[in-house]
Amino acid sequence: MKIDSVTANNRKKAFEIRVADASYVLPYAVLGLRPDAKNRVAEVAPDAELGMEGFTYRLADGSEDTIHLDAVLEYNQDPDYLKGLMLHRMTLEARKAVEDSDLSKRELIRRLDTSASQFYRLLDPTNSTKSVGQMLALLHHLLGKDVDVVISQRAAPKRAAKRRRRGRGTAAV
């Protein structure tokens, strides 16, 4: 994914990043080099040296930092990015489990009822076309691994919690 444009919004104290089909916000508060009222963002642009997959910003005092798009996607909890992280983690676990397994790779391929090339694609961490279902079949059914997906309620952002409290207070009056 490539960054089409990035702008600094000093009023919102955040960068606004646009990619092909989405827009994201990255607050200054999460940056290592934070702009402030005395040291504002002087320049920001997608970084060609990163293949347009990141952006570099420079502050008024001349200091600069670079942010990769992965950090933006992780902060915004992008579902496709999170799925890719989960598949990558499952792949690494599957590779370890295959090495530790008493079953030969040929036997795993036979039991998975797939081709050798498909089996090796499942074990390739750079392959993003595999599905969670395929990885579950390999890990759980063939390699004897438990795979748990934990679903829990996220904590409400502090601002939203304050608004809700205020809203309940005025409704009760």
Same domain assignment for residues 87 and 116: yes
Position 149 scores a pLDDT of 76
Same domain assignment for residues 7 and 68: yes
Q: Does 149 fall in a domain?
A: no
Q: Of the candidates 51, 45, 60, which has an alpha carbon nearest to the alpha carbon of residue 8?
A: 45
Coil, strand, or helix at residue 123? coil
- Of 12-16, 24-28, 70-74, 84-88, minimum mean pLDDT range: 84-88
Q: Does 70 fall in a domain?
A: yes
CA distances from 54 to 51, 66, 103, 107, 147 (A): 8, 7, 43, 43, 33
Q: Does 112 fall in a domain?
A: yes
**Average pLDDT for the chain:** 85
Q: Does 38 fall in a domain?
A: yes
The pLDDT tens digits of the residues spanning 22-78 come to 999 999 999 999 998 899 999 999 999 999 999 999 999 999 999 999 999 999 999
**Can you tell me the distance from the alpha carbon of 125 to that of 95, in angstroms, rounded to the nearest whole number?**
9
Provide the pLDDT confidence category of residue 157 given band limits of 50, 70 and 90. low
Q: Does 105 fall in a domain?
A: yes
Same domain assignment for residues 8 and 71: yes
Domain interval for residue 7: 3-75
Same domain assignment for residues 47 and 68: yes
Q: Does 160 fall in a domain?
A: no
pTM over 0.85: no
